[in-house]
Structure 1
Amino acid sequence: MQEVTSAHELRKQLAAFIGPAARAARSRLGLTQAEVARHLGIAHTVYSRLERGKMLPSVPTLHRLCAVLDASPNELMGHTRATPPDTDSPARRHLFCRVRQLDETRVRAMLALLSLGTFHE
């Protein structure tokens, strides 16, 4: 006879997948826990517990977490990433993450600043 897993056990297992996956995605972007927590609108200590697999995020928080970490819900829940891994440098990924958090006015200002520079490749 197959043992039935309790809802509590399933939540613990899911938290154990999401925490390390969030940590890996955050590290890939070069972000700190405090930066991610601030973007999520939660306390740093709460985010730390989430990364350690000690708590399960709510659905809205999971949705925001995916946006901040540029990760799919499947990836954070222990499934493989649907798209190939980034080949960009950690610094470039960090920059992209920070730019995604800016409002339209600040993005346009940043583009204007960049267009003033001379770039040699």
Structure 2
Amino acid sequence: MQRGELVSLDEVLQLLKEAIQRHLKSSKGFLVDGYPREVEQAVQFEKEVCKCSFLLYFDVSDETMTKRLLQRGISSGRVDDNETTIKSRLQTFHSHSQPILDYFGDKVKKIPAECEPEEIFQEVCKYIGAHQSC
């Protein structure tokens, strides 16, 4: 993670599967942040865990994302929120995201994310609200 690289597909899938199974009876649903990162993960997740209802995609520029992550690094102390690692993570994200968007097709819900957090949250609620109370 410190180098901006991805955790192995199998490890992430196993962690998600265990967490979902552990809370399945008491949950109304699951929101998984930053997953899948590769089409293979999406295929395996739907095969081994469950079908995806929809995918939220936050449409934001690299410039805005870099500013936000640098600020997060200041407030959280995360060592991977530095310009070099952020640049690498954004390159990795871009090279992997389009195939995932193509795989999920109409399930992808794009959210404009250049605005303030409260406005972004309201957009998220529109999609989640169709499935749950936000």
Per chain length, whose mean CA-contact separation is higher, i.e. which structure has more relative contact order (CA < 8 Å, sep 6+)? 2
TM superposition score category, shorter chain reference: under 0.3
Q: TM-score, normalised by structure 1?
A: 0.25
Tell me the TM-score normalised to structure 2 length: 0.23
Considering fraction of residues, name the structure with more helix: 1
